[in-house]
Chain A
C-alpha cells in the first residue's frame, strides 16, 4: 500500500480561505502536545499565549498596546514581501533590509544630534527606507544582470547586515557618553526630535503603526486597481502570458524587491527610534523572518496580512508571557511560530491535492 497525492481539479475557494484557520487550530493542538512534553499544562499554555495578552487583568493593560507595537513591523515588512511573493520573486532577506534601514536612518538622526527640528524624523524615515531599498537592490541587480538566485543572495546579505550592525553599534554609532558600552544614543529617551513615541497614550500606536495601515491600503489599491499590481499577479499566475502581455521582468524584480526593502527599512527605523530605542548589537529580532510567515498566513492579501500580523504579534506577546509565567524556553515559542507556517503549507497541500491510497493491483 502506498500513498499518492492527486491534484484536485478545482480546489474550493472556501477551503483555501479556511486553511489559515485550520493551520492555527492544528498549531494549537501540536503546540499543546509540545508544551505538555515540556511539563506544562497544555490548555493553560495555549490560553497564556492566545488569551491572556488581551484579557488578563494584570498583564492586559501592558500587553494590549504591545499588540500594535509588535504587529506594525510584521505587517509593514509582510506587505512588501507579498508583492514579490505574488510574482514568484522570493526575497528572504527582509531581516537584513530591516537592519540596514534602521542603521542608515539612525545614522542620519545621530548626525544631527542634538539639533531639534521637525524635519529630522521625516528625514530619518526617508533615509531608513532608502537604506532598506539599497540593500534589496543588491539581490535585485545581481538577479537581473547576472541571473543569480535572489533567495540565496538576499538571505546571505542578512548575515552581512548583522555584522555591519554589530560593527556600527560598537563603532561609529556608539554613544560617546555611553561609558564604553556598545550601542548608540537612545532616541526614545535622549533625542525627542528623532523619537517615535506613542501617538495616543496606552494604545501602542506609533508612526510605524500608521505606516503599516497606509501600506495595507496602498497595497490593496496597487493590487486591484493598478497596472503594476496586475503585472505582479499575471507574472505569478502565468509567467509566459506576462511576457506576452509585455511585462518587463527586470522592472518587476526591481520594483518588488525595492518596495519590500524600503518597507522593511522603514519598519527598522520606526523600531529603532521607538520600541527598541537605540542601535544595539541584538537589534535584529527576527521580524524580517517572521514576516514571511505573516505574508503566507495572510494569503499574500493585504487585509489577510493585517490579520495575520496581529495574530503573529499575539503569539510573540503570549510567548513572552508563557516564558515569564510558565517558564517555557524561548526556543519553544519560536518552534510554535514555525509550526504555524508548517501547518499552513501542509493544509494548502490538502486543499490543492487529495490523498489516494493505492493498493498494488494484480496485473
Chain B
C-alpha cells in the first residue's frame, strides 16, 4: 500500500527486563485522525518517541510516504514533517508567547515576522493567540495553543498529540476538536493518544490498541462502545465502580470562607471557598489544572495552616493544626504529585508508610520508630491494594505510577479516615488500577467516611460523586447534586471556555477559500 502517510513495520524495542514494543505494525493514512490506545506501560510512549526520533527501534522499520524513515533525532523528525505536542508543556513562564515559540523552532524568523505568523496561523485554525503575552499569565488551554501553534508553524504532515485534553474544560475540548478536524480535512494526519474513550469515539476514525507492547486490535472506534474499547485495552472485563446510594449522615467537615493568598507567583489564591461534607458523602470537585486544586489540598491537609474559623472537623476548628494533628483527628489527605509530595521517591515503601501512618497506626513511641510495625503496615497496604512490587523494601520511585498511586491511596484508606481528601486519584493510572481506586473510595464512603475527590477527570467524578462542584481561579462553584448534571452545565461550572477568544468564523472561511 502506498497511500499511507506513515507505515510502521514490525517495530520492536526492548529495555532491560521489559519489551516496550513487540512487532508493532500499523498505518496512518493522510488526513486521518488515528487513535493510539493503551494502558500505562502498554508501550504508547515508546512508540511515539520512536516516530519522533527520540528512541531507536531494535528491529523493524518505518516508511514515510513510501520511503524509509529513520529519524536520528527530533530535529530530523521535524524536518520530515512530524510534529509533536507533549502532555507536559515545555514553556517558560517568564517569556512571551512569541519567544517561547521561537525557542522551539530550528531556525526561527525574526520576532516581528514570527509574531505576525503566530497571529495568522492561530486565527486560521481557530486558536487565537496574542504573541506578546507572557506565558505565565495564560490558562492551561492557552498554553496548549502555544504548543500546537508552534507545531503548526512547521507545516507538519503528521501531528502527534499526547493526552491533549487532560488540562481542558469540555468547552475547550470542543474548540480543540474543531481545530483538529479542520487540520485533518486539510490533509494533516493526527496521531491521537488518549485514555479518554469517549473523546476517541468522538474524534478518531481509526484506532490501534496496544497491550503489553503488542498491537491487540485495530478498529473503527466510532463503531465500538467505550466499554468495548476499555476491555480491549485491559484484556479483561472491566470492573465498574458500584455503590448503593447511602443516606448521608452528620456533617463531618465544614469549610467556610476559606481564603488564602497564592503561595508563589504562579500559584492560585483560594477565594471564599465553602462547602460541607457529610458522613458517607463523596464530594467531587472538578476543574482545570492550576485553578487552586493543589492549594485547596494543602489547606485541607494542613500543609498550609488556615486562619481560625475556616475549617472545622466535627465542629472543632482545625485550621491552625498541622498535618499530624489533623491526622490524629481523622482528616487524611493524598496529594496529586505522587513522587516527591505524597511519597519520597528514594525511600522504601516501609519508610513511606511511616510518612503518614505514624500517628494513627502508632508506628513510634516517644519518637522511636517501630520498623517492624511500619513494615507490617506497608505490607498490609501492598496486599490489600494489590500493589505490584517485589516487597516493602522497594524504593517508592521504582514503582510504576499506577502501583505507587494504589499504595498512596491505600496507605490513607487503611488508616480508616473520617474525612479523606484526595487530589487526582487516578491521574496517569491505568484503567484497571483506576477502577480499583474508585471502588476503594466508594467503599470508604460506604463505611461512613466523607470523601472529597478533586479531579480533572469528569467521567470519574460523574461515576463516583454524590455532589459536584468545580474550582475556577480559586473559587468554588455552587454545589449541585451530581445526578442529572449535563456536561454543558459542568463545563460552565468549570469556567466555560475561560473567555478564550473563539475563532472568527469569517477568518476560517477566508483561509479555507
Hey, which bits of chain A sit against chain B, CB under 8 A? Answer: 225-228, 230, 233-234, 237-238, 240-246, 248, 361, 363
Contact = CB atoms under 8 A, between A and B. Distances in A.
A234 B72 CA distance: 41
B63 to A, nearest CB: 23
A243 to B, nearest CB: 5
B354 A244 contact: no
Interface in B318-364: 322-325, 327, 333, 335, 337, 340-347, 351, 354-356, 358, 364
A117 B335 CA distance: 59
B340 A238 contact: yes
Q: Which of A237, A241, A248 has the most CB of B within 10 A?
A: A241
B403 interface: no
Given A244-B323, A244-B335, A227 B367 contact: yes
Given A228-B367, A233-B347, A363-B79, 11 more contacts: A227-B367, A227-B368, A237-B347, A240-B341, A241-B355, A244-B303, A244-B335, A244-B355, A246-B322, A246-B323, A246-B325
A229 to B, nearest CB: 9
Q: Which of A226, A234, A246 has the most CB of B within 10 A?
A: A246
A243 B303 contact: yes
B331 to A, nearest CB: 12
Q: Which of B79, B325, B340, B344 has the most CB of A within 10 A?
A: B344
B68 to A, nearest CB: 19
Given A230-B369, A234-B355, A241 B343 contact: yes
B106 A363 contact: yes
Contact of B323 (A227, A245, A363): A245
Interface of A is mostly: helix
B483 to A, nearest CB: 33
A225 B369 contact: yes
B301 interface: yes
B342 A241 contact: yes
A234 B106 contact: no
Contact of B369 (A227, A237, A240): A227
Given A244-B303, A361-B73, A227 B79 contact: no
Interface in B420-459: none
Interface in B363-407: 364, 367-369, 371
B75 interface: yes
A244 B346 contact: no
A348 to B, nearest CB: 16
Nearest to A243: B303
Contacts of A241: 340-344, 355
A32 B367 CA distance: 49
B23 to A, nearest CB: 26
B424 to A, nearest CB: 15
A225 B303 contact: no
B30 interface: no
Nearest to B326: A246
A244 B322 contact: no
B302 to A, nearest CB: 7
Contacts of A244: 301, 303, 323, 333, 335, 341-342, 355-356
Contacts of B356: 244-245
Contacts of A238: 340-341, 343-347
Given A230-B351, A237-B346, A245-B356, A361 B72 contact: yes
A204 to B, nearest CB: 34
A248 B358 CA distance: 15
Contact of A230 (B322, B325, B337, B354): B354
7 A-B pairs closest in CB distance: A246-B324, A246-B323, A238-B344, A227-B367, A240-B341, A245-B355, A241-B344
A230 B367 CA distance: 10
B347 A234 contact: yes
A233 B340 CA distance: 13
B46 to A, nearest CB: 15
B368 A246 contact: no
Nearest to A239: B340
Nearest to B371: A225
A266 B224 CA distance: 76
B367 A246 contact: no
A246 B359 CA distance: 11
A246 B369 contact: no
A234 B322 contact: no
A245 B279 CA distance: 25
Interface in B295-327: 301-303, 322-325, 327
Contacts of A245: 323-324, 355-356
Contact of A226 (B333, B344, B368): B368
B76 to A, nearest CB: 9
Interface in B169-208: none
Nearest to B340: A238
Contacts of A240: 337, 340-341
Contacts of B355: 234, 241, 244-245
Nearest to B75: A363
Nearest to B302: A246
B73 to A, nearest CB: 7
B344 A246 contact: no
Interface in B34-65: none
Given A241-B355, A243-B303, A246-B324, A227 B364 contact: yes
Contacts of A242: 344
30 contacts: A225-B369, A225-B371, A226-B367, A226-B369, A227-B358, A227-B364, A227-B367, A228-B367, A230-B369, A234-B351, A237-B344, A238-B340, A238-B341, A238-B343, A238-B346, A238-B347, A241-B340, A241-B342, A241-B343, A242-B344, A244-B303, A244-B335, A244-B341, A244-B342, A245-B324, A246-B302, A246-B324, A361-B73, A363-B75, A363-B106
Contacts of B335: 244
A363 B106 CA distance: 9
Contacts of B303: 243-244
B154 to A, nearest CB: 13
A225 B327 CA distance: 22
Contacts of A226: 367-369
A243 B302 CA distance: 9
A230 B353 CA distance: 12
A358 to B, nearest CB: 11
Nearest to B321: A246
